Amino acid sequence: MPHIPVLLQEVIGILDPRPGGFVIDGTLGGGGHARELAKCVGQSGTLLGVDWDADAVRRAKETLGAPEIKRLVIVQGNYAELPAVLAKEKLQKADGLLLDLGLSSDQLAGSGRGFSFEGDEPLDMRYDTKSGNPSAAELLNRLRADELADIFSSYGEERNARRIAKAIVEARRKEKFLRVSQLASVIESAVPRHGKTHPATKVFMALRIFVNRELENLETILEKLPAVVRRGGKVAIITFHSLEDRIVKHRFQELAKTGRATLLTKKPITPTREEIFKNPRSRSAKLRAIVMQ
């Protein structure tokens, strides 16, 4: 399935990037949002694109740029470290920042790192394999059942966390977890499928979030927004599950109450029926935005 940027027109409408402006796409992914942002700021503007995934950065360098924009800076890095990236690249605070916290279709379809249970890739799940973080396989083969259950419950809101964790520990006594198919099979045996949703969905999400410290990174960048976006600049964040959305909602409200930002979305913007029909992966997306003060 080709990459389709989620809530694209809504993002452009919120950030309202102008010719000559400076915008940041902190989660390049498939580059769909970045391409449109580049068109908006034009030849006189600047786009900084950041992604932790080396493959996403490589693809962006191949596909983005002229004729849309002349000043294009693409960096492999964690969006939580944006202040340091700005300093290193000698860039000022931005007029707009976008964070799309969902996986791109490229990552799901063929990253070779096991983000999806639909293929049979190695159980890695790290955006940056050189980050030093343990892979998903390492965690599955090492952690106790109660530790695994806590990850599945806390990061994936999985109701059957304990049953799944117990099944994983029992299975690894016979064979170490190395491949996606092993984990998906054990989960499906422990919690049979009901309806269209695969029983491994929440476990895979939980492992990915935990391995990459996604919630911690999100909290870090939310604390650092004043160092990244200028006064009058806008921040738009797209989340895909309740844990992320809750963090963004509460931080935006806190910034608004203390006079450091104004809410642009009292309630999250969600995809239209037409968008969900064209791109089913967009169905859980929520967009929240603020303007910095």
Q: What is the DSSP string of 221-243?
A: HHHHGGGTEEEEEEEEEEE-SHH
The H or E element containing residue 262 is strand 261-263
State the SS3 of 89-139. CCCCCEEEEEEECCCCHHHHHHCCCCCCCCCCCECCCCCCCCCCCCCHHHH
CATH number of 134-211: 1.10.150.170
Helix axes 201-211, 145-156, angle to 10 degrees: 100
Q: Which CATH class is domain 8-106+214-292?
A: alpha beta
pTM of the model: 0.92
Instruction: Give the annotated binding-site residues for S-adenosyl-L-methionine.
Output: 31-33, 51, 79, 100, 107
- Per-residue pLDDT of 178-207, as tens digits, reads 999 999 999 999 998 877 788 999 999 999
Which residues sit in the known binding site?
Answer: 31-33, 51, 79, 100, 107
- Please name every residue paired with 179 in a beta bridge, in sequence order, or none if there are none: 122
Q: What is the mean pLDDT of residues 252-269?
A: 97
Q: What are the residue ranges of CATH 3.40.50.150 in the chain?
A: 8-106+214-292
Q: In this structure, are residues 224 and 83 in contact, taking their beta carbons and an 8 Å threshold? A: yes
CA distance 20 to 207: 41
Distance of CA 5 to the CA centre of its chain: 13
Which tokens sit at 184?
Answer: 């998906």
pLDDT, tens digit, for every residue of 22-61? 999 999 988 999 999 999 999 999 999 999 998 889 989 8
- Write down the pLDDT at residue 109: 57
pLDDT tens-digit series, residues 58-107: 989 888 877 777 799 999 999 999 999 999 999 999 999 999 998 765 55
Residues spanned by CATH 1.10.150.170 within the chain? 134-211
